[in-house]
Amino acid sequence: MNTARNSAADGPSVAVVGATGAVGREMLAVLEQRAFKHREVRAFASVRSAGQKLAYRGGELVVEALTDQWPPSGGGAIDCALLSAGSGISKAMGPKMAASGTVVIDNSSAFRMTAGVPLTIPEVNPLSVAGLVRKSGGGGGAIIANPNCSTIILLMAVTPLHRAFGVERLVVSTYQAASGAGWQGMEALERETRAVLGGEAASATVFPEPYAFNLFSHNSSVDVATGRNVEEQKMIDETRKIWSELGVGLGGELGGSGVRLSATCVRVPVMRAHCESVNVTLSRETTLAEVRAVLARAAGVRMMDDRAGNSFPTPLKASGGDDVLVGRLRVDPGQLPTGVGAGVDLERVSTRGFDLFVAGDQLRKGAAQNAVQIAEMIFGGS
């Protein structure tokens, strides 16, 4: 049971499900760091993790075993459940939790493309949950889906451009860290790296390919007909759904449902934080100076674009941070107007094509932080 309570007696009761996993632990850390007001937090995990103690706000949480019973015994109603225990648990328990009056914020892929379930990034499409704002003990339950980590990081960077100029096409290459596969992936990277440095031959222990000093196509399954893996398809489908819910008055296909997006998703031997290389074609011409200005004032985005110092976003710079880092801003030379040559000020040339490089902490903004931000929108924040 929770022994670390907040003084906000009228705040929501919060359950973190999957609390001993990489994202679950990060959810607790984010709840603590953001001073999210609640009357209690309860931690749930599998039977084998029950009884573990997790530090929280000067006290500790004793992990409880998740069962089929909801609301769980040993306490009152649960107002908000943050789920990060896998799609199987989400599918089994999410509807039951929502039926009991709990607002479920699910980090798995279980409900992302389900009609009627909001797929929400607070800085991008807050209107998707506008009808769910409530206080503890009031209103019915609901399910809200956290987008995939790569989708969140991408859309934090390019949605400000979509709002300002419209986005016609995106070409994205991802550099995805071990953290995207949870503790198992992170431990595999460390274990295999130590083995290779110790003189052993590279070998695969968790992923289909050796991870140490290697990179490979994302380990999700590949559609034989399209050649796209699951991670790439998620970015396409989720971007279209989220941008369809923007509510910013963008008409026609460019409202989101028909945006053209090509993704190549790759796992790289980095412990934490994903990076993405993005080529964007805007709907109308603008200048690099205007693109830079839009991104500089975007919520949740931090510019890191020092050409002279060759200092740009990296996984280490993004790890542990709340913001998505954006840099390497430049004009796409393949889309420059005919006749533009050397000596032209590329900051002021009007064009539709631009390149940028993005880095974001997959465990935080790509997962836990986004979920807590949704809870803050619904239950009133800190």
Residue 149 annotated in active site? yes
Distance CA 105, CA 363 (A): 15
> Which of 199, 101, 90 is closest to 145 using CA atoms?
90
Distance of CA 335 to the CA centre of its chain: 30
Neighbours of 119 (CB within 10 A): 24
For the chain, helix (H) and strand (E) counts, in that order, are 8, 15
Q: What stretch of H or E contains 279?
A: strand 274-286
Contact 211, 203 (CB under 8 A): no
Selecting among 38, 80, 149, 275, the annotated active-site residue is 149
Selecting among 38, 162, 218, 274, the annotated active-site residue is 274
CA dist list (Å): 303 to 118, 122, 159, 270, 363: 29, 19, 15, 22, 20
User: What is the widest separation between alpha-carbon atoms in the chain?
Assistant: 73
At position 144, the amino acid (one-letter code) is I
Distance of CA 10 to the CA centre of its chain: 29
SS3 56: strand
- Residues with a catalytic annotation lie at 149, 274
